Amino acid sequence: MSFGGGGTDISPYPEEKGGAVLNATINKYARVFLTPRRDNRLRIKTLDYRLETVTTIENCALDGELGLVKAAVKQMDPPAGMNLLLASDVPPGSGLGASSAVTVAVLAALARWLKKKRTPEELAEEAFFVERKRALLKGGRQDQYAAVFGGLNWLEFGKDRTVVTPLPISPLVLEELQSRLLLCYTGLTRRSDLIIERQLEAHAGNKKEIVRVLDELKEIAGLMKKALLTGRLQELGDLMDRGWTVKKKLSTEITNPRVEELYAEAKKRGALGGRILGAGGGGYFLFFCERDKLAAVAEKIEESGGKAENFRFVFQGVQTAVRN
């Protein structure tokens, strides 16, 4: 989940001005189970959405259902076929980086099987390449790096490299932060790449204004980082509220009446601020609440048709294991 700076990791902004995102990983996972085959067949199946495709490694088209997974397989150029079973705790289009987490998991599983060593940076960049160059999906870099590294990080995106800096938050501040955040599923999913494509079109058509908005989002992210490092959590809520107001200037598709209604109701009950996660338009909302108002906000969200969900921060990135 991104607290601030989202959008500044999307080209051409990071190459021109340098992007920065405050990002954290939580205990919602994408899992990939790889079973080698003795032929060249590729069978991909999901537990969550009852999707299945069967093809061959040679004829693996990078389109249609599960195209992103097939693109990751092609990237690793396996010498034989396999069965891939996928399971995700959140749906695609949720704003929690599910697609990137799946891509990273598939690449990590294949690298483990094929004994191809990858540094964390190489794995994140390979996942980025698969999504942006092979599958041709619009987007940034933060989700791939979050899935690979894990933790609460300050991510800086430049022309030639990405720097991942874990934030040394005290356990007491981290626990209070956890206790004041509410994750809410709006019930709406969306094509994040299409929203980002509109943002890129706006960038090209009105570059000066879009860059100004991205500059402000980066500034807000930096202030959020300082608030966390100094334990001034009350400021974080106000900054999230400001960030949400600014983010909506990037595209008219970031919000809609349903999203605005949820946000207004949450603020009435004690949310100091919040932001929709990912590109916008639906998916998950993250609210920062007054210390004693989280339960009231969650109750109102449920009454309004949303779903409040428990979560915990996690500090491990992608993991692989071999099972006999």
pLDDT in tens, 181-195: 999 988 765 555 555
Q: Assess contact for 266 and 250: CB atoms under 8 A.
A: no
Q: Does the annotation mark 143 as catalytic?
A: yes
* Catalytic choice (39, 143, 215, 292): 143
Which pTM was predicted?
0.91
d(CA 119, CA 107): 12
- Tell me the three-class secondary structure of the chain, residue by residue: CEEECCCCCCCCHHHHCCEEEEEECECCCEEEEEEECCCCEEEEEECCCCCEEEEECCCCCCCCCCHHHHHHHHHHCCCCCEEEEEEECCCCCCCCCHHHHHHHHHHHHHHHHHCCCCCHHHHHHHHHHHHHHHCCCCCCCHHHHHHHHCCEEEEEECCCCEEEEECCCCHHHHHHHHHHEEEEECCCCCCHHHHHHHHHHHHHHCHHHHHHHHHHHHHHHHHHHHHHHHCCHHHHHHHHHHHHHHHCCCCCCCCCHHHHHHHHHHHHHCEEEEEECCCCCCCEEEEEECCCCHHHHHHHHHHCCCEEECCCECCCCCCCCCCC
Q: What is the pLDDT of residue 57?
A: 86
Report residue 80 as tokens.
């034989």
pLDDT the model gives residue 162: 96
Bigger pLDDT: 63 vs 171: 171
The residues, any chain, with a CB within 8 Å of residue 136's CB and separated by 6 or more, are none
- Report the candidate in 82, 40, 38, 71 with the shortest Cα–Cα distance to residue 57: 40
Q: Where are the domains of the chain?
A: 30-162, 171-309
Q: CA-based angle 308:310:312, to the nearest 5?
A: 145
Q: What is the pLDDT of residues 130-175, one digit of tens each?
A: 999 999 888 899 999 999 999 999 999 999 899 999 999 999 999 9
At residue 306 the predicted structure's pLDDT band, cuts being 50, 70 and 90, is confident
CATH number of the domain at 30-162, please?
A: 3.30.230.10
Average pLDDT of every residue of the chain: 90
> Is 171-309 a CATH 3.30.1280.10 domain?
no
